[in-house]
Structure 1
Amino acid sequence: MVQQLVAEYGSGYDQVKNAIGGLTKEELQFKPAPDKWSIHEIIIHLADAEIVGVHRMKRVLAEENPTLTAYNQDAWADALQYSLEDAARSLELFGLLRQTMLPALLRAEEADWQRCGIHEEAGPLTLAQLLERYVNHVRGHLAQIDRVLAAYREKQAQQ
């Protein structure tokens, strides 16, 4: 199970890149509703979330029961003006972060997967649970990208 998650984690960048490959600027910038993210903003978010995820997983591997801080993703998107960020650079950063973390996950031994950090909101989380969260995080945003594209195409068809 864990090895499948590691493999999917390692392919996350390619999955995202393939999902947005060939999209126009208009498709990337389209917001299905004022309070929803564009694909562009989703990409920025994935990079920021990966920064946090790599930090959390490395702390769990290196420290005894570290505190894992929470963050408000919507506040980050608003305050950091995700719509003005460079999505191509953020996608590249997301990929680099995954490439950087992957060797440590591949080297992890059986006992490492049970090492734990204490998340401020979720409580105790093992390395295996953190990995699963970050795999599921990409899965969720890939589905979100599909929904945004479907909404864009529906809007285009109505015009």
Structure 2
Amino acid sequence: MLQRPDQEEYNSYFETYISQVPEGDYHSFLQNQLDTIIALFAEMSEEKALLRYAPDKWSLKELLIHITDTERIMSYRMLRIARGDTTSLPGFDQDIFIANTNFDVLSIRDLLQDFQAVRQATFTLLTTIAESAWEHRGVSSDHPISARALAYIIAGHAQHHLNVVHTRYLQA
């Protein structure tokens, strides 16, 4: 079973996300989260998917793209670090990523399928990481980080945004 990372394994910025992952079976949490995201977005109308809870906030489509993009990036970082690559990995600007998407021509179902594909790739990647490799450390965005911290960031980041959907978007 994947163990929760110690605080010295990641930048304190990521505590917001890691704290979202409960104690227990990480893989089950990730699967339950996938099921929740599918249930939430699968029957969403295109009109609702364009909802913003404030003028300067992302639409639900953009939010789903952001969750997907972030999981792709964090999975890539996890792969590199778990495999022993100590090359410093760059950060990314989430706002530039969103500004350069084509969410307006893709349906919410297309975006959900993309998320599902990325999550399935994450599940597959997790099975290829040796137990001893979870503690491997590298550098990302100029900060040390472990492979297992990245796994927890993936789950916690998605959970953080699910919480935002429930408290901000679905209340609007």
* TM-score, normalised relative to structure 2: 0.76
1:47 aligns to what? Answer: 68
Residue 117 (str. 1) matches residue 138 (str. 2): yes
Question: 8 Å contact 2:42–2:112 — kept in the other structure?
Answer: no
Partner amino acid, structure 2, of 1:21: A
Instruction: Supply the distance in 2 between the matched residues of 1:52 and 1:18 (Cα, whole angstroms).
Output: 24
1:57-72 equivalences under 5 Å are 57-72=78-93
Find out whether 1:133 has 2:153 as its counterpart. Answer: yes
Superposed displacement of residue 60, structure 1: 1.4
Matched, 1:142 2:162: yes
Q: Does 1:33 align with 2:61?
A: no
Select the residue among 106, 111, 119 that pairs with 2:127: 106
Deviation digits for residues 67-124 of structure 1 (CA, Å, limit 9, x no counterpart): 2221111121123354444432222122112212213313433311101120124x11
- Partners of 1:87 and 1:100 in 2: how far apart? 20
SS at match of 1:2: coil
Segments of 4+ moved more than 6 angstroms: none
CA contact (8 A) 1:6 1:131 kept: no
What SS is found at the alignment partner of 1:36? coil
- Corresponding residue number in structure 1 for 2:11: none
The alpha-carbon deviation at position 22 of structure 1 amounts to 2.6
Report deviation, 1:31: 1.0
Q: Structure 1 residue 90 and structure 2 residue 99: aligned? A: no
Decide which structure has the larger Cα Rg and report it.
1
Matched residue SS, 1:118? strand
Which amino acid in 1 is paired with 2:74?
G
The answer as to whether partners of 1:117 and 1:126 remain within 8 angstroms in 2 is yes
What root-mean-square deviation, in Å, do the aligned CA atoms of Structure 1 and Structure 2 show?
2.1
Whether the aligned pair in 1 keeps the contact of 2:44 and 2:108 (CA below 8 Å) is: no
CA apart distance, 1:20: 2.3
**Structure with the bigger percentage of helix:** 1
Amino acid at match of 2:65: I
Once the two structures are aligned, what percentage of the paired residues are identical?
A: 25
Match of 2:101 among 45, 61, 80: 80
